Amino acid sequence: MNFNLKGLLFFSVLLLSLIFIPAQVFGMDNDLSKEDFEAKFDVLNTPRDWETDVVDSDAGASASLALSNSGQPGISYIGDIDSSAIPPTAQLKYAKLSGSMWQPNRAIEVAASNTDNSLQIDSSGKPHISYYAHLGRALRYIVFENEEWKNSTVAENSQKDTGIYNSLQLTSGGKPRIAYWDAVNGKVMYARYTGTEWKRSKIFEMTCVEPFPPIVSLALDSKNEPHVSFYDCEASNLKYAYQDSSGWHPAETIDSSFRSGLSSSIAIDSKNNPHISYRSGQGAAGRLMYTFFNGSKWEFIQVDPDFWYGEHSSLALDEKDRPHIGYTALPGAPTHEMRVAFYDGYGWFRESVDTATNGADYTAVSLQVDQNDHTHVAYIDNGSDQLKYAHRDIYRRYVYMPVITNRD
């Protein structure tokens, strides 16, 4: 059966016009009737421009972003640093977005050092934070419940920094799990809260000979089993380890190239396979890399060819398991941008979210993607000591296909 030639020409012209008519004609709020059209196809997720807020104008070098179930962001960070104090003091703070306004920033702990902290928000909207406290040189955990902050000590050692690098996740039941660096004993550790006490286990042991820190990143799979990526500061490469019902499996070297694994960030997909973003290589050999386990082997992708970039990477997967990575430039780069790279199912795209001026740079990148595939990112602008939050929505464009009833 053949189409009538005139009908076919009409259909072709109409289809082209549908594609090139401005996107808002086919938006979600369009009044086109389904009685006039047979089907609609989501042909493009069109990103809007990035919108940026200044959350705090006196921020330190550490920030962590998390989203509630409704997609509302919260940020834990270090602020109000007093460098004249001996030892220097700072405040662990928490801010959350309510509607279109950031609620007043809450100072939680005066004794927090200008180092790592990690935030998660549970299903009831309660913030949970792991952080390193300078006084006592301890890794601590704090949660906001019954209108007050309640903290506990996860691990401590008065002689050296325990938990100075840490990463927090919550189980499906809201129980905290923390991966951290024990500088006292040279171990990557894992802590889980039973409801009454913290239980700790060793993931990996090494003697640090590198000037670069063993940043640790934790993710939980659908069975609440932990997966950890970290920089091996003895072998100078990227490591990955996971635990199942049989215990912790030996850490695996994922990228053996020199100084691979700096600024690693891990996420787990819907099939419980790990994905990791990281900076690989040193100097001009360095690149922002992304690797994932496809069920049988690791695959590697160079995300950004600019060797200046790949610092402070933060990885999140969207509802279709597609990666989104926030990252910045190395100190001394000729330009400093806050960048986001993402894979849309067909190819990789890189965008500049913010551009620093006067030689300043960005640090403490923390990126999340909500259930509507909207991207959220928090970061520190060191030029202005500002904690910033940027987000971008997408709106869907549709092509409606007309019913063709006149056929020869």
Residues 56 and 34 in one domain: no
What total number of domains does the chain contain?
Answer: 2
Assess if residue 187 is contained within a domain: yes
* CATH number of residue 246's parent domain: 2.120.10.70
- Yes or no: say if 338 and 328 are a contact pair by the CB < 8 Å rule: yes
Question: Does residue 377 lie in a domain region?
Answer: yes
In a domain, 408, yes or no: no
Residue with tokens 């998660």: 120
Regarding whether 107 and 71 lie in a shared domain, the answer is: yes
Residue 17 identity? S
Whether 264 and 334 share a structural domain: yes
- 10 Å Cβ neighbour count for 368? 20
21 and 54 part of one domain = no
Q: Let me know whether 128 and 75 are in one domain.
A: yes
Does residue 35 fall inside a structural domain?
yes
| Same domain, yes or no: 20 and 121 | no
The parent domain of residue 88 ranges over 49-392
Residue 290 lies in a domain: yes
User: How far, in Å, CA of 108 to CA of 60, rounded?
Assistant: 15
* Residue 124: partners with Cβ closer than 8 Å, 6 or more residues away: 174
Are 220 and 369 found together in one domain? yes
Looking at the structure, tell me whether residues 108 and 73 fall in a common domain.
yes
Phi and psi dihedrals of 171, rounded to 5? -70, 175
The answer to whether residues 228 and 188 touch, using CB atoms and an 8 Å cutoff, is: yes
Q: Do 148 and 239 sit in the same domain of this protein?
A: yes
pLDDT tens, 127-141? 999 998 877 788 999
The label of the residue with tokens 């069109």 reads: 46
Instruction: Tell me if 53 is assigned to some domain.
Output: yes
pLDDT (tens digit, 9 = 90+) per residue, 265-304?
Answer: 999 999 999 999 999 987 667 899 999 999 999 999 999 9
According to DSSP, residue 322 is labeled -
Question: How far is it, in rounded angstroms, from Cα 239 to Cα 253?
Answer: 5
Per the CB < 8 A criterion, the answer to whether 191 and 203 are in contact is no
pTM: predicted TM-score of the whole model, two decimal places: 0.84
pLDDT in tens, the chain (408 residues): 444 555 555 455 444 444 444 333 333 333 434 333 333 333 344 456 899 999 998 887 789 999 999 999 999 998 877 777 776 678 899 999 988 889 867 778 765 566 789 999 999 999 999 998 877 788 999 999 888 999 999 998 766 778 889 999 999 999 999 999 998 889 999 999 999 999 999 999 999 877 888 899 999 999 999 999 999 999 999 999 999 999 999 999 999 999 899 899 999 999 999 999 999 987 667 899 999 999 999 999 999 999 999 999 999 999 999 999 999 998 888 889 999 999 999 999 999 999 987 767 899 999 999 999 999 999 999 888 899 999 987 644 434 444 444 434
CA–CA separation, 75 and 388 (whole Å): 10
383 and 303 within one domain: yes
Quote the pLDDT of residue 105.
72
Residue 407 belongs to a domain: no
Q: Are residues 29 and 79 in the same domain?
A: no
Structure tokens at 392: 């971008």
Residue 142 and residue 19 share a domain: no
Contact between 393 and 48 under an 8 Å Cβ cutoff? The reply is: yes
Do 206 and 186 form a contact (C-beta atoms < 8 A)? Answer: yes
Q: Give every CB contact of residue 337 below 8 A, 6+ residues apart in sequence.
A: 309, 328, 329, 352, 353, 354, 355, 356, 362
* DSSP states of 347-384: -EEEEEEEE--TT--EEEEEEEE-TT--EEEEEEETTT
Q: Within a domain: residue 244?
A: yes
